[in-house]
Amino acid sequence: MGLGFQVTFDAHDPMRLAQFWAVALEYEMQPPPSGFESWEQFARTVGIPEEKWGDFAAVMDPAGEGPRVFFQRVPEGKTAKNRVHLDVNVSQRGLALDERAERREIVARHVERLKGLGATYVREVDEPNGYCVVLQDPEGNELCVQ
C-alpha cells in the first residue's frame, strides 16, 4: 500500500478555487475540526490572526478514498504552464471504450458546468487512445476533463 498524500495548489483566492475544484471533482468542502462550528471559530481558538483566515481552504472526497486537495494563498501570480495537472475522469464510470458518443456528452455537460464556475476552454483532444477537453480553472491551472 502506498503512502497517503494531498495535492496542494498555490492560489490567489483559496476559497474560490476550493469551491471550483469541489464541483470539478465532486468533492465537498472540508468541514472544520471536530468540536468547532466553523473555521472562523477554530482559527480564533488557535490564535490565527483574522487577516489570515482566508489563506487556506481544502476539499475532500466524500467517500474518503481520493486525496485531500489543499489551497494556500501565495503573494505571486501564476507565471508559467503547469508541469502537473489533474485529469478529471467523468466519463469512465461504467462505460465501455466504444461508447464514444455517450462519453463525449458526459464530458460536455461537466465542461459546461465548470465553465459556469469560471473555467476557460483551452482545446479538445481527440486521439485513438482517448478524448478529453483541456480547461483552465479560474486561476489558470490546467485540467483535463475526460
Mean pLDDT score across all residues of the chain: 92
pLDDT of residue 98: 64
The average pLDDT across 6-32 equals 97
Distance CA 117, CA 115 (A): 5
Give tens-digit pLDDT for 70-98: 999 998 887 887 888 999 999 876 556 66
pLDDT of residue 97: 60
Distance CA 72, CA 57 (A): 7
Domains of the chain: 6-73 (3.30.720), 86-145 (no CATH)
In the chain, pLDDT over 90 holds for what percent of residues? 77
Whether the model clears a pTM of 0.75, i.e. scores above it, the answer is: yes
Give tens-digit pLDDT for 110-137: 999 999 999 999 999 988 777 899 999 9
Question: Treating both helix axes as pointing N-terminal to C-terminal, what angle do 14-25 and 100-115 enclose, rounded to 10 degrees?
Answer: 160
